[in-house]
Amino acid sequence: MRDFSCFGENGVQVSDAASSSSGSITTSSGKTGQNLVTCVYQCRLRNFSCFIITLTWTKTLMGQGLCVQIDDSTNQCLCKVEIKPGVFSKRRGFKNLEVGSKLIDVYWDLSSARFGLSPEPVEGYYLAIVVNQDLILILGDMEKEVKNKMDVSSFTPNFVFVSKKEHIFGKKAYSTRAQFCGKGMVHDIVIECDIAGTNDPCLLIRVDGKTMMQVKHLRWKFRGNYTILVDGLPVEVYWDVHNWLFGKLTGEANFLFQTCLSAEKMWATSQPNLDPSWSNSFRRDSHSNGLGFSLVLCAWRSE
């Protein structure tokens, strides 16, 4: 399942509580991971033109940062806006761009943003993107403040949260938070696996403290998939923990949480071997309409 190599040293990474203050962590393989989260949104104009907006939130010793990339429907990058971490970085502002026939405005205010363990802000911020006077994306809890600054039409933003990608770190437990549907609850997700001192490790996945999945005899079932229910919504979980158990150079395991795409997958009860093509299929299909939300995690063993 080496298709997951997209999570290499330069991939999207998030550190755990122990490393959040320093912005990096050293894994059991000696690699140092940065503290980043990438979120992907699909947005539409009133004329049904489609855009993919990728936000990469970062945290380093210099502070918080953000990179905004806007792609068209053919995955052609139209522009990038970077808010670099540092004392002299503009924590509040806007940028006007002209790309062909498109006028793009990006507004942001991170000056009072509050953060948890992740570099993605929790509250006290806004980010808004306008294309040809259509507001296509607005995030944060300061919607009123940002709308007072913008010259926009009455068009209501039409966007979908497509995917979130993270690297997480731990020794026995690996945690993150995720929202599996646009208006749903934010859930605490914990992956537990103690492979030290046992010949028969077990994999547990908990959502909000409740055990949703347990895989025993993990050395025989190091790859597989299973369907759980979250908010009454079927979520298909794929796992590959081969490197946790047998790897020598790296210590990462890979997980995909994806809202189910069909009734057949929804009610599947078996746990077949994981088809290596599923990772490519996810990356290809995740920007399509109506396919729900996907959370991709690469879990690294820390020292």
Whether 192 and 209 have beta carbons less than 8 Å apart is answered as no
Token pair, residue 103, equals: 């006028």
> pTM for the whole thing?
0.75
Amino acid in the structure at residue 34: Q
pLDDT in tens, 145-181: 888 878 777 778 888 888 999 888 888 999 998 888 7
pLDDT in tens, 11-64: 222 223 233 333 444 444 445 445 788 999 999 888 888 999 999 998 888 888
Higher pLDDT, 181 or 257: 257
Quote the pLDDT of residue 263: 36
Phi and psi at residue 145, in whole multiples of 5°? -65, -45
CB crowding 142-159: b at 16 or more within 10 Å, else e: beeebeeeeebeeeebeb
Q: Which residues pair with 224 in a beta bridge?
A: 239
